[in-house]
Chains A and B, each alone.
Chain A
């Protein structure tokens, strides 16, 4: 696997018996010997440890020293209220394009004197260039390739992290805080990508293996690969950038209007002012022609990414397609998400997916498929 980058935990992954695959330019663990099903179920039952160090970590530090200047600058790139984001809190955001498409989705945290941004691995170079092109006047932009990022997810995560880094249990969903594991500073957020309560932990890459081993020393914690990460986030109804949302989908089509606060909507305090605002605000007012929805296939056959959707059991043109799909281990059934015309998006609507030449019924369903357990 020449030319692929490795995270700080590479040797640990091999020692744990991981099967490594190329992902977003990195050699990453897709599964460990337990396998995807057991890893998925273990995360929901206890705690799973994920290496997400391939993701991009960026600091935006206001040149003026006033955080509001960095927040106002970032608001020119996202349809999200950053100015009202309190210190110690994190929020989901989207980089939008001038045509209203989505360049990436990201997390933005207010860490007092700076904003801390986490972006997708596959987009991190483009995102950094995008931020440099538009924010360099207001912000000093620092990428942090020397920091690792771990996620600890599941009902046992709180207890496990609290014993190593006191203060974790006191955090609420989407809080961010600086905690300490001995002398090592941890930038912790109570968030994740599984639908479970849990934490994402940024720390110096040099300390990452020792910290991961300390977490894994707790019998509640097992290492989890990208395979289970995908099935966990799919059950939680969370988007995978490049599949469920991309430059061809708007935030409203992607059913992400909840991420756009009132202040950035029409008649808000700072309405518009982000790339693609005309289309995005118009879609908010009139509802878009299509929407991202959840689908429950009626049989056992998984309906995967790219599968075409039809209104009837035979004939007619495709009306939409599936963007993510597979088997939901916690549900014991196949699940999918995809796009359908707004008129066919009501929960309970039956549509037909063409799988290996056969039209199979599936029912539009509310997401998340699996109830989330965030500590709000």
Chain B
């Protein structure tokens, strides 16, 4: 798992067709800082996005915030479970509450991001 400065986690996996997929969620630290999440708006699928694009809107009891695409790629799947049950983001941010999957040409694209130790240094 890799981590961004925007408190996202990125995990590489293989798609059913063997393509390279990056799964994106937010860290436990981010979920705690946001507070109780009450609304999640997911992106459309089969859409190309660029790194830095706002792709997900999260509203907590406190405020709205955006999740940015961490890399360039195609959104191939979104997790409708978090839209139906936004509280999942607080319950299981690193597991069930992933937000979207992106298809990438080269999974090594996430090597540029922090590993767990580096991320823990960032938030400590």
Contact = CB atoms under 8 A, between A and B. Distances in A.
Given A36-B35, A36-B36, A37-B36, A327 B41 contact: no
Interface in B24-45: 35-36, 38-39, 41
A356 interface: yes
A231 interface: yes
Interface of B: 35-36, 38-39, 41, 57, 59, 61-64, 86-87, 90
Contacts of B59: 301-302, 327
B36 A356 contact: no
Contacts of B63: 304
A327 B57 contact: no
Contact of A31 (B35, B39, B86): B35
A304 B64 contact: yes
25 contacts: A30-B62, A31-B35, A35-B36, A35-B61, A36-B35, A36-B61, A36-B62, A37-B61, A227-B35, A227-B61, A231-B61, A300-B39, A300-B86, A301-B41, A301-B59, A302-B39, A302-B59, A302-B64, A304-B63, A326-B61, A327-B38, A327-B39, A327-B59, A329-B61, A334-B39
A327 B34 CA distance: 14
Nearest 6 pairs of A and B residues by beta carbon: A327-B38, A37-B36, A36-B61, A300-B39, A302-B59, A35-B36
Contacts of B41: 301
A209 to B, nearest CB: 26
Interface in A198-234: 227, 231
A356 B64 CA distance: 10
Contacts of A329: 61
Contacts of B57: 301, 356
B38 A35 contact: no
Nearest to B54: A356
Contact of B38 (A30, A31, A302): A302
Contacts of A327: 38-39, 59, 61
Interface in A296-324: 300-302, 304
B39 A227 contact: no
Interface in A241-281: none
B53 to A, nearest CB: 14
A227 B64 contact: no
B56 to A, nearest CB: 12
Contacts of B62: 30, 36, 227
A229 to B, nearest CB: 12
Interface string A30-64: 11000111000000000000000000000000000
A302 B36 CA distance: 13
Contacts of A227: 35, 61-62
Contacts of B61: 35-37, 227, 231, 326-327, 329
Contacts of A304: 63-64
Contacts of B90: 35
Contacts of A300: 38-39, 86
A35 B35 contact: yes
A326 B61 CA distance: 7
A212 B63 CA distance: 30
Contacts of A302: 38-39, 59, 64
B64 to A, nearest CB: 7
B58 to A, nearest CB: 11
A235 B26 CA distance: 30
Nearest to A19: B35
B57 to A, nearest CB: 7
